[in-house]
Amino acid sequence: MNLYLVSIIGYAVLLIGIGWFIGKHVKNASDFFVGNRQFSWKLLFTTLIAANIGAGSTVGVTGLAFKHGVSSWWWIGCSAMGSVLLAYIVGPKIWAIGKKYNLYTMGDYLDLRYARIFRGITSSMMVIGTLALFSGQLIGISWILNVVAAIDKTTGIIIGALVVTLYFMAGGILSATIVNIVEVAVIFAGFCLAAPFALNSIGGWPALENAVALNLADPAKTEAYFAWDGIGSTTIVGYFLMLVPAFCISPGLIGKIYSAENVRAVKIGTMLNALVQFAFAFLPMILGICAYAAFPNLGNAELALPMAMKELMPFGVSALALAAIFAAEVSTADSVLFMLATSISKDLYKTFVRPEATDEELLKFTRVVTLCCGFAGILLALMMPNIITALTIFYSLMTVSMGAPFLFGLFSECASVQGASISAMLGVLTTVGLTFLNDGEGFWILNAASTGTLVAAAVMLAGLYVSPNKKIAKGGS
């Protein structure tokens, strides 16, 4: 029997068991959505870092490193920059508002700050984008199972969806956070061992550079491969404008911030998460370059990480490393399910369909929605070409539609619902228009999403003066 597969199955059963055990203690929507607002900085750090290191930060970034080298660092690096802003600027302020008005979701805040209709529009858009994000995590899980046990992509996606959906459906954010403690331990043990073992198997950094140079057979390409801007300035700027805002406004991360017990927990837990992201960014970069040195003809770059984990280290380390990838994808997938379940049940169902629903009825509906989202994620994952494409759809849609309205609304009393609505609409239209009519290219060195983000911000800024809020909004300052 395949020992790699046995270890992953055992790990998956453990996660489901923990989730259902915790689920027995979840009695109401407050427990499910915000863990009764009792998270210490340690718990907050655990659930944030588990959410932020997923398929994109592992399988996706290693695939980028396989193709582009050192400059792949910028994906996680830009994400970490957004986490710094969340720790000291956005997080404390939104936590205080959430505590004061008993908010559960990002939609709750947008309703409070602007209007119910704006909440409905943005929440509907986020459901589409978040399903794309969830599908990316499922693709990452499927690639692991493909390498370790030759399981086809479809079956791997179904297995991943079942594992995540079953344990999250039971206990929501509380069970996800307890499971995250196990996942984070496995992730860091696996990756911290895997990178030096993989590098050592190649013969060290000088040997790695020589192997890459031999495979590329072009001094200019080799120089770009080991340069910090090798992936191109347009791509790096695109990452910055897409990921920095995304990691300080993401509905999933904001929901976790609401769970903190106080502002101190927000600052310490979130900043520690950012520092770990900065350091972790080097690990998939190294593993991707090692994979290119060892397997230059690998047809699918997103198989680089599981291949490196399986082939470039002894079995004991390899089994732990592969479990670490599985843990990373699963830990982020449950955070994505959290975003989906809360957006549909609280922001749409409770707000527009059945406002009179009791706390217990909302909890039951949320669990049903979680199951449905797991199924929808399977269907979308089967259509998505790769992980980075799936993640880019989510981050772009979220940043251009919600970034400017959320941040301006949080820090300016003058931000109005009219300005927010026009900002979101023009940001999305600009991005979609440039994507389909200009091959994704924007203005100057910007891509379509970056241009849409700046257009949305400019419109929101102009709206402060052209169409200011007539009265001070609750929670707006």
- Looking at the chain, the number of H-run helices and the number of E-run strands are 22, 0
User: Which backbone phi and psi does 226 adopt, to 5 degrees?
Assistant: -100, 15
What was the pLDDT predicted at 38? 81
Residue (of 382, 305, 347) closest to 143 by Cα position: 305
Tens of pLDDT, residues 280-301: 999 999 999 999 999 999 988 9
Which range is least confidently modeled, 236-240, 297-301, 445-449?
Answer: 445-449
Asked whether residue 23 carries a pLDDT value surpassing 80, the answer given is no
Range 84-103 average pLDDT: 95
Closest to 281 (Cα-Cα) out of 326, 208, 228: 228
In a domain, 415, yes or no: no
Rounded to whole angstroms, how far apart are CA atoms 398 and 245?
9
What's residue 34's pLDDT?
A: 58
CA triple 318-291-315, angle to 5 deg: 15
More confident residue, 185 or 9: 185
* Confidence (pLDDT) at 287: 96
How far is it, in rounded angstroms, from Cα 280 to Cα 75? 11
Q: Output the pLDDT for position 228.
A: 96
Residue 126: predicted pLDDT: 79
Does 380 have pLDDT greater than 80?
A: yes
Judge whether 430 lies within some domain.
Answer: no
Instruction: Work out the pLDDT band at 167, boundaries 50, 70, 90.
Output: low
Residue 332: which H helix or E strand, with range?
Answer: helix 315-342
Helix (H, G, I), strand (E, B) or coil at 281: coil
The CB density around residue 360, as the number of other CB atoms within 10 Å, is 11
Q: Count the helix, strand and coil residues of the chain and give each as a percent rounded to the nearest 5.
A: 85, 0, 15
For the ranges 22-31, 144-153, 215-224, the lowest mean pLDDT is seen at 22-31
Distance (Å, whole) CA 110 – CA 13: 38
Backbone phi and psi for residue 115, each to the nearest 5 degrees, phi listed first? -160, 160
Q: Is residue 412 part of a domain?
A: no
Predicted local distance difference test score (pLDDT) of residue 476: 42
Q: How many domains does the chain have?
A: 1
In a domain, 434, yes or no: no
User: Does a structural domain hold residue 227?
Assistant: yes
Residue 474: pLDDT over 50? no
Residue 477 pLDDT > 50: no
Q: Return d(Cα 19, Cα 243) in angstroms, integer.
A: 30
**Contact 281/73 with Cβ under 8 angstroms?**
yes
Each residue's pLDDT tens digit, 314-335: 888 888 887 777 777 776 777 7
Q: Which of 144-153, 166-175, 192-201, 298-307 is the least confident region?
A: 166-175
Q: Which residue has the tokens 């996606």?
A: 157
Percent of the chain whose predicted confidence (pLDDT) is above 90:
41
Average of pLDDT values for 369-387?
86
* Residue 452 in domain: no
Q: The domain that contains 156 carries what CATH number? A: 1.20.1730.10
Q: Which amino acid is at 428?
A: V
Alpha-helix residue ranges (DSSP H) falling in 384-416: 387-398, 404-411
Going by pLDDT thresholds of 50, 70 and 90, the confidence category of residue 437 is confident
- Residue 1, pLDDT > 50, answer no
pLDDT of the residue at 245: 93
360 within some domain: yes
Domain membership of residue 320 as a residue range: 3-387
Question: What confidence tens digit (pLDDT) does each residue in 52-81 have?
Answer: 887 788 888 999 999 999 999 999 999 999
pLDDT score of 240 more than 90: yes
Mean per-residue pLDDT of the chain:
85
Alpha-carbon gap, residue 170 to 172, rounded angstroms: 6
- Judge whether 419 lies within some domain: no
pLDDT, position 62? 94
